[in-house]
Amino acid sequence: MSRALRILLAAAVLFGGTAALSAAETAPLTRGTAITDPDLLRRLDEGDALTLQRLLAPERKADASLTTDLLFSELPQLKDIPPAIDAEVDRHIKGQKAAYPSETIGVGEGFDVQLFDRAVLNSRDTRFVLAGIVNRMDRAYASEESCGEIRLLYRLARFDGTTATRLPMTLNLVMKARDVRQTDANGKPISCAELARRWLDNGNWQELIGSRDDAMLDRIETNIQLSVAAKSALHDFRSDYLLKVFKYNSATKAFEESTLENQIDRDRIVADDALRRDFKDWLLAPEHLREFDRGTVLIPEKFLARSAVVPTPAGLDASVLQPEFGMMQAEGEGKAVFTDNDVVGALKQAATRGDMQNIRSVAGFQRRLNDVTCSGCHQTRGIGGFHFPGVDWLADKPSNSAIVPASPHFLGDQPRRRDILTAFAAGKRPDFSRGFASRPQTRGSRELAGSEYQDGWGAHCSLQEAGSGTRDESFTSWSCANGLTCQAAAASRRIGMCFIKTR
């Protein structure tokens, strides 16, 4: 691995996949699609306007945010979350001990594998702070009546006197974008078009979030840096992240453990002959393959997992660390779900219908199998971490923070999301399709040209295949800006990174 790539990987792991840019430089990208202003987020959090307890229990009188010992004990809606996390941590410990019996595992620097400290979820010194608000009206294809989703991102932090330290956990409260009961000045229900216009006009947060009661609640998503293991004689450096989803049940008034959207349960599918056949038949059906190509597929729950542990860094090529590995014919031993002939045949038929936009090869199909999942998307650029670590307004000078609030994947997707908002605002049917997670869909915009998000230094690009001198058909447009060339990163065969030609 080159020195430049080692530096890039180390920086990305350190910052959870973010880039070293100022928050001010990223503000134009997120106009209308996210609220990342540190001063506004501080006011919303400290003013108790958008704290978790205010949104989950608006009838509760509270002068300050609840610390985690009270949050999980006094809000019954959250009672299922700590035990579900405990069970996953215990399972992870068991797996680590089985894989590396000679290594120690526990909380603190004295262990070979350092665990997330579960005690912080029952502490009077920690609480969740509002770190960002993200407009996901681009997901209206999954929830058309509610015009998509609004996500409120909270980062766990420890408070010690006047010092605040961010901890490796985020909690994402997902709410419906539209309250169907809310009306405009004329008494008519708020439309998706009106909602989009308010976001694009940067309207006040009360109009954007809508009413605050349980009719707007959808789910909670948690992301925890579960463990960190230094490089040793047994393995490379590794950091594992735990992803969980808790769906809101309006009947029980509680967030209950649920499956992760499109998180393919690889091990269970591969091990079950009937399930393996069912999944292949379902995904290769013309209507589902078309949605799969566009990134809008919604895979049935019977094929999905209830948790995901995401190992990072995962690298750019297929490996056992990635969620789909083993489902394709050429990947190791075992019973594959898809043969190359299965995929080639389905793609040929789809091409005759004019269905395909992104997937034009077996390699493209394989890459989409990864990035359509939560964990595969999480590993975009081979790194992982937190795609939205959030704005650190706890810092002394948050407006001058050297760290952007989100990953290159998140920032690179903002023009597409804004394009969808603009279509909504104009009363048009949006195009909800997206490209591969590693390379943003620009929709003809030149806004990202020359940047790491599209074709600048460090961007993903398509390598020529050895011998043929051609590029894979799914990635032919993944080129580099002038002065840069696509170069292999480690053992990469199809996907490289854009670096200066003299490197």
| DSSP-assigned letters across all residues of 61-90 | --SSPPPHHHHHHH-GGGTTHHHHHHHHHH
Q: How many of the other CB atoms lie within 10 Å of CB of 342?
A: 18
Q: Which residue has the tokens 């439309």?
A: 191
The dihedral region occupied by 422, where left means phi > 0, alpha psi between -120 and 50, and beta the remainder, is: alpha
pTM: 0.91
CA angle 458/459/465 to nearest 5° reads: 105
Helix (H), strand (E) at residue 248: strand 238-249
> Which pLDDT score is estimated for 263?
97
Q: For the chain, how many residues are written?
A: 503
CB contact at 8 A, 392 and 156: no
Tell me if residue 461 falls in helix, strand or coil: strand
Query: What gap in Å lies between CA 15 and CA 366, rounded to an integer?
Result: 28
Residue with the bigger pLDDT between 406 and 306: it is 306
> Which pLDDT score is estimated for 442?
82
> Which pLDDT score is estimated for 6?
31
Is the preceding omega at residue 313 within 30 degrees of 0, hence cis?
A: yes
Query: What gap in Å lies between CA 380 and CA 437, rounded to an integer?
Result: 6
Token pair, residue 361, equals 């090869």
Q: How many of the other CB atoms lie within 10 Å of CB of 80?
A: 18
pLDDT, average across residues 148-163: 93
Residue with the bigger pLDDT between 41 and 492: it is 41
Q: How many of the other CB atoms lie within 10 Å of CB of 160?
A: 8
Helix ranges restricted to H, 22-67: 23-26, 38-46, 52-56
Highest averaged pLDDT of the listed ranges 292-296, 398-402, 440-444: 292-296
Q: Fill in the DSSP letter of residue 430.
A: P
> Which pLDDT score is estimated for 20?
35
Tell me if residue 271 falls in helix, strand or coil: helix
N-term to C-term CA, the chain? 13
Of 6-15, 102-111, 242-251, 285-294, the range with the lowest mean pLDDT is: 6-15
- Phi, psi torsion values for 155, nearest 5 degrees: -110, 135
> Which pLDDT score is estimated for 298?
98
Tens of pLDDT, residue by residue over 407-466, are 888 989 999 999 999 999 999 999 999 999 989 888 878 888 998 889 999 999 999 876
Query: What gap in Å lies between CA 340 and CA 349, rounded to an integer?
Result: 14
| pLDDT of 7 strictly over 70 | no
Q: Which residue has the tokens 């919303």?
A: 44
Tell me if residue 426 falls in helix, strand or coil: coil
Please state at what angle helix 273-284 crosses helix 286-294, rounded to 10 degrees: 80
Helix ranges restricted to H, 174-298: 192-200, 205-209, 266-271, 273-284, 286-294
Q: What is the CA radius of gyration of the chain?
A: 23
Q: How many of the other CB atoms lie within 10 Å of CB of 108?
A: 8
Query: What gap in Å lies between CA 115 and CA 228, rounded to an integer?
Result: 7
| pLDDT of 397 strictly over 60 | no
**b/e 416-437 (16+ beta carbons within 10 angstroms → b):** bbbbbbbbbbeeeebbbbbbbb
CB contact at 8 A, 325 and 318: yes
